[in-house]
Structure 1
Amino acid sequence: MVRVTFGGEGLRGFGQPVPSAHIKIFFPEGNWTPHSDAPRPPSRTYTPLAFDPAKNELEVEFVLHGAGLAADWVRRARRGDVVYIGGPRGGFQPAHDLREIVILCDDTALPAATMIVRALSTRCNVKLVAEVGGEDEARDIDRLPASRIEWLVRDDRQPCGTLVRRLADLTAADDAFWWVACEAKAMRKMRSILLERGNIAKERLITRGYWQAGETNHPDHDYGV
């Protein structure tokens, strides 16, 4: 995981992102600008971790899964390199009176999960279970008084397999909210498991497929429905 800070006058007026909002990062070649008649450069979708309007600075975290458009750019990025950013859009604003939330995610969704935790009331009970590539990738997340954070280390059997197995004995109150974001196939499996329990209403469940094994650019709006 690599955190990159973007800055510049182009971010003036950038909206304060709602938790789990998404942005588009365009990676241009040559002298392309948004006002150019040339086709748009390739882009990838990310969730911003934080935006400081006083400094015009936007923090974004990149998971380096191997070779790829964004990963290759991050590895060679230097101060002064230019990208173009669109957004933010969408997001999930937790209800102020939410009493319990269960968050299941992998490392690609950790920025969104972090933003959600920051937005919660201090009275909310939080269970966050995250799958990461190694023990050294566990991080400090702004903890609420009633919170439990559990880190699972990814194995080689299947993406997010540790999350799916952990869900088998993970329970919560009937009025708890569930937020699941990770690899698309694993997300669908967990969504099916949760809805089959019979005590979780669809309106109290958000599922997002952030990526899919074998794909280079997964669709932005994969909610598993």
Structure 2
Amino acid sequence: MKERNFARIRFELQARPVVVSRVEKTSEGFISIVFSGPLLAQFNSLSFDDHIKFIFTNAAGETVRRDYTPRSFDTATQELSIAFALHAHGDASDWAKNAQPGDSAVIAGPKGSMVIPADFDWHLLIADTSSLPALARRLAELPADATVIALIQVDYDSDRRLAEPTDTQQISWAQTHQQVLRQLETLELPAGEGFSWVAGEHAFALRAREILLDKGQPKTLMKAAAYWKKGAADFHEKI
């Protein structure tokens, strides 16, 4: 087994006031919002599944905090992009639907990054709508010739928006969590040493992790997290 360095990097926790610079509805299920602010000059996000606290005021005047993944950060313009999944109900989704340039919010974090090496023989990425922005960032940051298998659940066909896959990337889309799990159950893991990343709804992520362990994927070469849980608000948990 090749020795690889999983770098854990800590940052000073800082709350940064930001304003909306641009808003783009990228698909039926997502809105991309670009934020700017002078304190973003010190912003750091070194891993694709870092988490920030997005702090905003809802329609009732209450302060709300939600976890999000930085989709991208432009160091030249000091602009931070976040992809918001749209739901029928939810304070953050409602805020994003109504966001206009000049609207204010606060970005806190990330507290740190765990940088996963890119030189594995293969990468397995399993996501649902909530974690698709993190998966998309990972694909963008991996070498173009990296061997990648991605199994993704999304709510709408128009959400199937990723960069054009390369010859070494296999991307499978599904409409339900169960369809993704069935795809995973029949998947034969490639030869060599690979890393598996799973994120999404709590029960879905737990089951995907169990399937991978049954297939012989070592715990040390896997990262799983629940980005949300049915019936719970503001839920995030490492698995």
TM-score normalised to structure 2 length: 0.80
CA RMSD across the alignment = 2.2
Task: Answer yes or no: is 1:149 the counterpart of 2:168.
Answer: no
Q: Is the 8 A contact 1:21 1:48 kept in 2?
A: yes
Per-residue deviation, 1:196: 2.0
- In the alignment, the residues of structure 2 paired with residue 18 and residue 163 of structure 1 have an alpha-carbon distance, to the nearest angstrom, of 24
Give secondary structure in 1 for the equivalent of 2:42.
coil
Task: Answer yes or no: is 1:188 the counterpart of 2:217.
Answer: no
Task: Answer yes or no: is 1:203 the counterpart of 2:225.
Answer: no
Alignment match, 2:103: 81
Alignment match, 1:157: none
Could you list the runs of 5+ residues in structure 2 that have no partner in the other structure? 1-29
- In the alignment, the residues of structure 1 paired with residue 198 and residue 106 of structure 2 have an alpha-carbon distance, to the nearest angstrom, of 29
Per-residue deviation, 1:148: 1.2
Q: Is the 8 A contact 1:114 1:142 kept in 2?
A: no
* Per-residue Cα deviation, 1:143-163 (whole angstroms, up to 9, x for no partner): 444111111123xxxxx2221
Task: Answer yes or no: is 1:116 the counterpart of 2:138.
Answer: yes
Q: Is the 8 A contact 2:31 2:97 kept in 1?
A: no
- In the alignment, the residues of structure 1 paired with residue 152 and residue 132 of structure 2 have an alpha-carbon distance, to the nearest angstrom, of 8
Alignment match, 2:42: 13
Whichever residue aligns with residue 59 of structure 1, its letter is S
| Distance 1:74-1:122 versus aligned 2 partners, 3 A rule | closer
Task: Answer yes or no: is 1:25 the counterpart of 2:50.
Answer: no
- In the alignment, the residues of structure 1 paired with residue 141 and residue 86 of structure 2 have an alpha-carbon distance, to the nearest angstrom, of 27
- In the alignment, the residues of structure 2 paired with residue 182 and residue 141 of structure 1 have an alpha-carbon distance, to the nearest angstrom, of 21
Q: Is the 8 A contact 2:51 2:68 kept in 1?
A: yes
2:63 aligns with one of 24, 41, 64: 41
Alignment match, 2:89: 67
Task: Answer yes or no: is 1:223 the counterpart of 2:238.
Answer: yes
- In the alignment, the residues of structure 1 paired with residue 114 and residue 86 of structure 2 have an alpha-carbon distance, to the nearest angstrom, of 25
| Distance 1:193-1:167 versus aligned 2 partners, 3 A rule | same
* Stretch of structure 1 that moved more, 136-145 or 72-81: 136-145
* Per-residue Cα deviation, 1:106-156 (whole angstroms, up to 9, x for no partner): 1111111122222323442101111100212111226444111111123xx
Whichever residue aligns with residue 61 of structure 1, its letter is A
Task: Answer yes or no: is 1:176 the counterpart of 2:194.
Answer: yes
Whichever residue aligns with residue 104 of structure 1, its letter is I
- In the alignment, the residues of structure 2 paired with residue 99 and residue 57 of structure 1 have an alpha-carbon distance, to the nearest angstrom, of 33
* Per-residue Cα deviation, 1:158-178 (whole angstroms, up to 9, x for no partner): xx2221121110121352211
Percent same amino acid among aligned pairs?
Answer: 28
Whichever residue aligns with residue 42 of structure 2, its letter is G
1:95 aligns with one of 100, 113, 117: 117
**Alignment length, in residue pairs?**
208
- In the alignment, the residues of structure 2 paired with residue 122 and residue 2 of structure 1 have an alpha-carbon distance, to the nearest angstrom, of 26
2:155 aligns with one of 133, 158, 162: 133
Bigger strand share: 2
TM-score normalised to structure 1 length: 0.84
Task: Answer yes or no: is 1:162 the counterpart of 2:182.
Answer: no
Could you list the runs of 5+ residues in structure 1 that have no partner in the other structure? 33-39, 155-159
Per-residue deviation, 1:23: 0.6
Alignment match, 2:23: none
| Distance 1:201-1:112 versus aligned 2 partners, 3 A rule | same
